[in-house]
Amino acid sequence: MTDHAEQPLSAHLLELRRRLLWAGGGVLLCLLAMLPWAQDIYTLIAKPLLAALPPQSGMIATDVTAPLFVPLKVTLVAAVLVSLPHTLYHLWAFVAPALYRKEKRLIVPLLVSSVLLFALGMAFCYFLVFPAAFRFLAAMTPDGVNMATDISSYLSFVLGMFLAFGAAFEVPVAVVLLYGAGVVSLAALRAARPYVVVGAFVVAAVVTPPDILSQVMLAVPMLALYEIGLLVCRSIRRDPSES
SS (H, E, C) 171-191: HHHHHHHHHHCCCCCHHHHHH
Asked if residue 97 belongs to a domain, the reply is yes
Q: Number of C-alpha atoms within 13 angstroms, CB side, residue 35? A: 8
* Residue 55 belongs to domain spanning: 3-169
Question: Measured between alpha carbons, how far is residue 224 from residues 117, 170, 191, 211, 230 in Å?
Answer: 13, 12, 16, 21, 10
Read off the pLDDT of residues 58-100 as tens digits, 9 standing for 90 and up: 889 989 999 999 999 999 999 999 999 899 888 888 887 877 7
Asked if residue 193 belongs to a domain, the reply is no
For the chain, the 3-state helix, strand and coil shares in percent, each to the nearest 5, are 80, 0, 20
Asked if residue 111 belongs to a domain, the reply is yes
Asked if residue 236 belongs to a domain, the reply is no
In this prediction the pTM is 0.86
Q: Is the pLDDT of residue 13 over 90?
A: no
Please give the tally of structural domains in the chain: 1
Asked if residue 196 belongs to a domain, the reply is no
Average pLDDT along the chain: 88
Average pLDDT over residues 42-60: 89
Asked if residue 191 belongs to a domain, the reply is no
Asked if residue 90 belongs to a domain, the reply is yes
- The residue that leads in pLDDT, 237 or 139, is 139
